[in-house]
Amino acid sequence: MTYLIIKYLLTALAIVLISEIAKVSDKVGGLVAALPIITIISLIWLYAEHQPTAKIANHAYYTFWYVIPTLPMFPVFALLLPKFGFWPTLTACILLTVVLFYGYAQLLKVFNIHLL
């Protein structure tokens, strides 16, 4: 149980650190947020928990494919936020990401890459 609490605290600390950096500098905050910190932490946890190498490799592989359809959300969010406010913009971007992800997953099936 202690291990799980430490795991949660360290992972949460990474997210809090990113938001605190973003308060000081938009550019540095964006840079740090763009780094695959959560993925790296996840890979470390999988390794520390003695998961098979294939499982860890699959996690990295699928993370790559899942990131691509999320990227359009960021410029769309920046464009919509001043016009519609935070919550409507966030909702629209989540819906956009879901639609893009579904279409992307269908497209990748043609190349024998199955995300769903």
The domain in which residue 96 lies consists of 71-116
Per the structure, how many domains does the chain have?
A: 1
In a domain, 35, yes or no: no
Q: CA Rg, the chain, in Å?
A: 17
In a domain, 41, yes or no: no
Residue 74 has a pLDDT of: 95
Q: Is 85 left (phi over 0), alpha (psi -120 to 50) or beta?
A: left
In a domain, 108, yes or no: yes
In a domain, 75, yes or no: yes
Residue 34 has a pLDDT of: 82
In a domain, 34, yes or no: no
In a domain, 91, yes or no: yes
Lookup: tokens for 59: 């996690």
Query: 60, 43 in Cβ contact below 8 A?
Result: yes
The structure's pTM equals 0.76
In a domain, 98, yes or no: yes
Tens of pLDDT, residue by residue, the chain (116 residues) = 888 898 889 888 988 988 999 999 989 988 888 888 888 989 999 999 999 999 999 999 999 999 999 999 999 999 999 999 999 999 999 999 999 999 999 999 999 999 98
| C-alpha dist (Å) from residue 111 to 31, 50, 64, 76 | 32, 32, 15, 28
Query: 104, 70 in Cβ contact below 8 A?
Result: no
